[in-house]
Amino acid sequence: MIIRKTKKLFIATLILSLIFTSIAVPPSTDAYAAETDTPLSITDESLFETAYIDGLLTITGFHQPASGNNLTDIVVPAAIGGQKIRAIGSSAFEGVGDIHNLYLPDTLEQIFAEAFSSYRVYQVGSYTYHATGDFAVSETAPTEIPSPETPTVEEGSMTFTQHQLPSCLTVIGEKAFYNSPVHNIIFNSPELAIGTSAFEGTENLGDITVTEGTRISEIGEYAFQNSGNLHSFRVSGIIDRIKKGAFQGAGNMNEFVVSETGSISVIEDEAFMNCANLHTVTLRGNVTSIGNNAFSQCGNMNDLVIESTTSYTIGEYAFKNNTNLHHVTLSNGIETIEKGTFENCANMNTVYLPDSLKNIKEDAFKNLPNLQEITINENVTIAPDAFEGAGDATKKALANTNNAAAKAIAGAPVPTPAPPAVPLVSVPVVTPPTPAPPQKISVSSVKLKKAAVNKKKKKITLAWSKNPKASGYTIYKKVVKKGTKAKKAKKIKFKKVKNVSAKTLKLSLKLAKKSTTTFYVKAFIKTNVNGKTITYYSKASNNKKAVLK
């Protein structure tokens, strides 16, 4: 009896164990990481709903087939009814169920706000194609029914690329992939803006690549915040601006690297704050500004390299509390290490500070006990408490520099400069002649001839007449947002946009949305007077306006 009961108990326990195991282990997401084995074809266009939104034919909904199994691999048509699909709308795939692979046509232009927010789309990719004939592009619903000769995608012409978003994509809207299980992403667009919280909370997001030739005008606030498994972000293209908190709390990100072909310009406040496992940071290209607390609380950061081709600034407390930061290399272009920039970087070992540096402010290197080597040129001004809390090793490193203030902080003797030698022969003092005042140069003004607006690309192309004597031209603009009262609009001043060379008589510039922008141009001549370069400007050209709704 005891043996029978024991046997029954064992069998029951085994069955329960198998049941709980099947419940507890979710289906592996690795299955979605590889290309599907099933040959892909364009999904039946009758399953999609469309509408014209902001002049773009947009996918607004999708419903599964009435019979058979639900589709888990979906290929969005490049066109429906002969009209090119240009956008994915908000909540377009709501309630569809798990989508293992979603492929978008390479000609897609926009992904609207919350398009894939909280929906179970595991992989997003794109495809290129050849079409028989040209698809129509309309900003409103066509008045005529498409003819039987409606263009179609040629069978067998499609090439699928997983993870890579469409190369014609210009906008990824606010919260577009918010809380989505989407995996790796490759950005491949020559002109792209990523909205606020676009990828926030994407727990499965692993690697991000910005390919060479890609330009991202901005990565919006909190765009990748709390992307828990984001591992690496590699930039071979151009990023103009990373906004506040964009990667804040991406706790498993290991590296943010701009390659030698890449460039990044502006990193705003707290952009990478609390990226606890961020190990390597390499910033290259046209780096101009790194904000306050931009990389603070990144406790595992080990190496920091900044290689900027221009002058740049680093904000207060930018790398504070990065306790494992060992090596710092800053390129020429920076003039000031601000308050608390490297405070509490307790394991910092080597620091290279460039010849362009002029000032080190209070608490900049506070509580650095183990610094072994630091380069500071002799002309740098150092606040008395810049190295407060320095340990013996740090003091020794400061004493080994040629900077008198650094030696004083270390308690090392500062060499007394030798008195000037007494001349043996009296040399008569010769007063140099007073230089003649510079003669003002008159610069002929130019005429602004053309202002062509491209509403699709939100750009204007300006063209102006030539001044054969000009050294170059300066473009000015004034932006008045829609709805601004006339009295306030009059007070808005023109601002300098750009200087161009004498050879440049045509320039394309971006326009602000929902604004009226007014432009004018001045010619200028540079001349050398008494060893100094003086610039003379012409009067302003005529104005040209551009209105963008």
Q: What is the pLDDT of residues 213-223, one digit of tens each?
A: 999 999 999 99
Pairing label, strands 506-510, 232-235: unpaired
Strands (E), 9-66: 48-53, 56-62
- 337: Cβ contacts below 8 Å, ≥ 6 apart: 314, 353, 357, 359, 360, 361, 364, 365, 386
Name the one residue in this structure whose structure tokens are 């394991």. Answer: 347
Does residue 3 carry a pLDDT above 80?
A: no
pLDDT, tens digit, 9 for 90 and up, residues 109-160: 999 999 998 878 999 999 998 888 778 787 777 655 554 457 788 777 889 9
In this prediction, residue 433 has a pLDDT band, given cuts at 50, 70 and 90, of: low
Among the ranges given (185-199, 369-383, 385-399, 408-422), the one the predictor scored with the smallest mean pLDDT = 408-422
DSSP secondary structure string for all residues of 480-510: EETT--HHHHHHPPPEEEEEEETT--EEEEE
Question: How many alpha carbons fall within 13 Å on the CB side of residue 510?
Answer: 6
Pairing label, strands 56-62, 48-53: antiparallel
Q: Alpha-carbon distance 134 to 83, whole Å?
A: 9
Spatial contact of 284 and 259, defined as CB atoms under 8 Å apart? yes
Choose from 165-174, 411-420, 421-430, 461-470 the range with maximum mean pLDDT.
165-174
Q: Which sign does the torsion angle of CA 254, 259, 262, 264 carry? A: positive
Q: Alpha-carbon distance 217 to 211, whole Å?
A: 14
Element spanning 22, H or E: helix 2-24
- 68: Cβ contacts below 8 Å, ≥ 6 apart: none
Residue spans of alpha helices (H) in 275-330: none
Is this structure's pTM higher than 0.85?
no
Query: Residue 62: beta bridge partners?
Result: 48
Mean pLDDT of 413-427: 63
Q: Alpha-carbon distance 59 to 50, whole Å?
A: 5
Question: How many alpha carbons fall within 13 Å on the CB side of residue 512?
Answer: 13
Name the one residue in this structure whose structure tokens are 């053309």. Answer: 450
